[in-house]
Amino acid sequence: MATEPTFKIDELTLEEQSSLKSSRVWESDCPIPINRLRIVKLSYWNFEGKEQADGQIMVMDAVGDSVVQIFKTLYEKKFPLAKVRLMDHYEGDDAKSLNDNNTSCFNFRPIIGSTKLSLHGYGLAIDINPIQNPFIEFPENETKKSIAIYSPPEGRQYTNRLQSRPGKPFRPGMAEQVIDIFKKNGFTVWGGDWDTPIDYQHFQVTRDVAEKLIILPPQEAKIYFQSLL
């Protein structure tokens, strides 16, 4: 007998809070208090077409309902996800998560190549299928020529973003297929629209919205975010 898919929002247990601290996924100078983080537990389809019920992604409390709706819609459309694990599984190491093709959200860290805090540090940015949707930066080398660096390196095979290519099979799991789903639920910024770096895996709210959500009391923040949808 088929079981119903799982989609629910849980507060963090003391054990889960301890794991976040010991792995340094959350630290005391993080802008979001640890008691405002929530774990969305979810079902998803993997790339083999099998249903998985072990998905977990950590987000700010104010956007929990919207994140549930995003992943419900991905599930209904059978959009595949390789893995959906919390960042303490990787000790907060973004490269390990990317190389494992993991879909994730909260991780207290700066923007890659910058000292500015990423919106992952607010629980307001989601990365999906990093291999199918790589982060690409273009630093200059000693000859002043730009080179493309892919994170993860395996993502290089997805440089060409065309969905329909003569003589080649359809490639599932690419972010272009779900941009509208994220935008409809408040994650209106897609890193694939950027000039440099290009971050195909990345969806977030605007930074102005993030700064407002972080200072509002939880219930007011939730109401405010819902008003934007």
Q: What is the pLDDT of residues 94-145, one digit of tens each?
A: 999 999 999 999 999 987 777 789 999 999 999 999 999 999 998 877 666 7
pLDDT value of position 157: 95
100: CB partners within 8 A, 6+ apart:
82, 83, 85, 90
Total-model pTM? 0.95
Domain range summary for the chain, segments of one domain joined by +: 7-227
- Residues of the chain where predicted confidence (pLDDT) is lower than 70: 1-2, 142-144
pLDDT value of position 2: 58
User: Cα(first)–Cα(last) distance of the chain, in Å?
Assistant: 37
Beta bridge partners of 102: 83
- What Å distances lie between residue 130 and 25, 57, 106, 191, CA to CA? 19, 15, 15, 12
